[in-house]
């Protein structure tokens, strides 16, 4: 993370504020992604992402920290010929029968998350983190270079989450309250999206973190409740996660239970391996994967992985990531 400190009142909007603390950080990644779908369609493409995150804060005389977070992000699978598409929609831009892009709404400043924080209490509004997304154990690993299908995220993105896409300055509309004290953490969030209200309680005991979450939503198939437990077991860090994402409809891509078992362990001084297996009522098959991460020093790393998704797609990636 790189920090720039603006210490003149000419650079802040409110009279009487002596300084603002602005931090720039993020990462870049680039490499190769191979995809082979259940329909027998395969492709090998260059994959890349650049993310610049800006965090700005100011502290009142009473010690309350006010701030905002915003991102500028570009994936190479963004807009095709200027036409937006739903996330991960395959697009044949030139009509030659090959997939040129997997559409995302990219490029630009995303929705802003504003917050006020004092001690262990924080209130956020706007493009909120979301209680289910922020729950301990919900992202037990980050597979390969690109994250692959994220089948190891048990709530399956059926709740509010911080959105990196270019929704403009207004972004999403939500509110959340986070509180932590020692080994206890609590997070409650609500938004206009399906009138969602979600929350989790987590507690760490003897090196293991236990978390329980629930959500009320008007959207059919949204997560109803979830539970995770994670800690060290011998040489490995392991996580077991479960989410009830609606009742089992027996429909592929529909709703139902989602289970995940994931682990991470070192295989050398600078290399670790991650593995997972996941199953859900709405998968066509069990999902599993393995990767490696090799630290090159200075915030740089070689990463690669292979997975078979819950919808019988094989993904293989390899490349470089650098944090700044």
Residue 108: per-residue pLDDT: 74
What's the mean pLDDT when you consider all of the chain?
Answer: 87
Instruction: Please report which confidence band the pLDDT of residue 164 belongs to, taking 50, 70 and 90 as the band edges.
Output: confident
Residue 74: per-residue pLDDT: 87
Question: CB–CB of 113/162 below 8 Å?
Answer: yes
Q: Measure Cα distances from 152 to 94, 140, 201 in Å.
A: 34, 7, 21
CA distance 227 to 52: 32
CA distance 273 to 292: 4
Which class for 269: exposed (0-12), middle (13-18), buried (19 or more C-beta within 10 A)? exposed
Residue 267 lies in a domain: yes
Contacts of 48 (CB under 8 A, 6+ apart): 28, 29, 30, 31, 75, 76
Q: Is a pLDDT exceeding 70 seen at residue 88?
A: no
Instruction: Please report which confidence band the pLDDT of residue 22 belongs to, taking 50, 70 and 90 as the band edges.
Output: very high
Residue 146 lies in a domain: yes
Mean pLDDT score, 7-15? 38
The single residue listed with the structure tokens 């937006």 is 84
Residue 145: per-residue pLDDT: 98
User: Nearest-CA neighbor of 225 among 249, 264, 199?
Assistant: 199
Residue 144 lies in a domain: yes
Q: Number of structural domains, the chain?
A: 1
Question: CB–CB of 129/110 below 8 Å?
Answer: no
CA distance 240 to 26: 29
What count of other Cβ atoms lies within 10 Å of the Cβ of residue 195? 11
Q: 95-130 pLDDT, tens per residue?
A: 666 655 455 555 678 889 999 999 999 999 999 999
Mean pLDDT score, 84-88? 44
Q: 231-279 pLDDT, tens per residue?
A: 998 899 999 999 999 999 999 999 999 999 999 999 999 999 999 999 9
Question: CB–CB of 296/315 below 8 Å?
Answer: no
CA distance 157 to 144: 19
User: Nearest-CA neighbor of 131 among 68, 192, 190?
Assistant: 190
Residue 228 lies in a domain: yes
Q: Measure Cα distances from 92 to 19, 59, 101, 102, 158 in Å.
A: 50, 50, 7, 9, 28
Domain residues for the domain of 37 are: 27-52+121-323
CA distance 102 to 42: 13
Residue 162: per-residue pLDDT: 93
26: left (phi over 0), alpha (psi -120 to 50) or beta: left
Q: Measure Cα distances from 321 to 50, 72, 169 in Å.
A: 10, 17, 28
Residue 178 lies in a domain: yes
Q: What is the CATH number of the domain that holds 153?
A: 2.40.160.10
CA distance 34 to 67: 40
Residue 104 lies in a domain: no
Residue 40: per-residue pLDDT: 87
Dihedral sign for Cα atoms in the order 24, 112, 119, 18: positive
For residue 228 the two structure tokens come to: 């995770």
Instruction: Please report which confidence band the pLDDT of residue 92 belongs to, taking 50, 70 and 90 as the band edges.
Output: low
Q: 188-210 pLDDT, tens per residue?
A: 999 999 999 999 999 999 999 99
User: Nearest-CA neighbor of 132 among 75, 185, 184, 200?
Assistant: 200
CA distance 47 to 148: 12
Residue 59 lies in a domain: no
To the nearest 10°, report the CA torsion of 124, 193, 161, 147. -170
Residue 88 lies in a domain: no
Residue 85: per-residue pLDDT: 41
Residue 264: per-residue pLDDT: 98
């Amino acid at each position: 993370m790189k920090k720039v400190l603006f210490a003149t009142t000419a650079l802040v909007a409110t009279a009487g504020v002596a300084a603002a603390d602005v931090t720039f950080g993020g990462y870049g990644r680039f490499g190769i992604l191979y995809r082979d779908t259940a329909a027998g369609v395969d492709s090998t493409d260059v994959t890349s992402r650049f993310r610049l995150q800006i965090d700005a804060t100011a502290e009142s005389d009473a010690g309350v920290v006010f701030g905002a977070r915003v991102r500028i992000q570009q994936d190479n699978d963004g807009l095709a010929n200027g036409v937006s598409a739903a996330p991960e929609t395959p697009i044949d831009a030139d009509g030659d029968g090959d997939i040129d892009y997997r559409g995302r709404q990219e490029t630009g400043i995303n929705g802003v998350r504003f917050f006020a924080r004092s001690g262990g209490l924080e209130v956020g509004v706007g493009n909120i983190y979301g209680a289910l997304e922020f729950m301990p154990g919900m992202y037990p690993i980050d597979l390969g270079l690109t994250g692959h299908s994220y089948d190891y995220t048990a709530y399956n993105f059926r709740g509010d989450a911080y959105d990196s896409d270019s929704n403009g300055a207004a972004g999403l509309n939500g509110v959340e309250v986070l509180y932590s004290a020692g080994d206890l953490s609590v997070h409650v969030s609500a938004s206009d999206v399906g009138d969602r209200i979600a929350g989790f309680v987590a507690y760490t005991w003897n090196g293991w973190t236990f978390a329980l979450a629930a959500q009320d939503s008007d959207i059919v198939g949204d997560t109803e409740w979830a539970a995770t437990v994670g800690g060290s077991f011998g040489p490995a860090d392991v996580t077991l996660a479960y989410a009830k994402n609606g009742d089992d409809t027996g429909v592929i891509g529909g709703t139902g239970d989602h289970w995940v078992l994931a682990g991470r362990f070192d295989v050398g001084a600078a290399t670790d391996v991650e593995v997972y297996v996941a199953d859900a009522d709405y998968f066509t098959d069990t999902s599993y994967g393995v990767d490696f991460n090799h630290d090159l020093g200075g915030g740089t790393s070689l990463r690669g992985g292979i997975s078979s998704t819950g919808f019988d797609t094989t993904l293989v990636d390899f490349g470089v990531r650098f944090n700044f």
